[in-house]
Amino acid sequence: KRSKNPLYLPLEYFHEHSEIRELIRWTLDPERVVKRGWFDPAFVRWLVDRMETGEFLYLKQVASLVIRDLWRAFFIDSQRLW
């Protein structure tokens, strides 16, 4: 009966941990981005580069792209990720 509460991702975690950086490299690899055909690989690379500044907007956009790709891999492609 309580009201909805938003889910906040700890985006600074994306910026600070090597495990997450490796996940970003894998999911947003230019060849993978081209294969998916949804986004311009040059722009995705630009976003990932800008993420390094730690600015919230870039972290949020990169996190959204990673989550979307993982969702697609798991639910649409039936790819085992772990």
CA distance 53 to 62: 12
> Which pLDDT score, from 0 to 100, does residue 42 have?
96
Each residue's pLDDT tens digit, 15-38: 788 888 899 999 999 999 999 898
- State pLDDT tens for residues 7-19: 777 877 777 888 8
Query: Mutual orientation of helices 56-71 and 18-27 as an angle, nearest 10°?
Result: 60
Q: Does the structure show a pLDDT above 70 at 6?
A: yes
Query: Which residue type sits at 23?
Result: L
- φ and ψ of 3, to 5 deg: -75, 160
6 vs 42: which has the higher pLDDT: 42
pLDDT tens digit sequence for 46-66 = 999 999 888 889 999 999 999
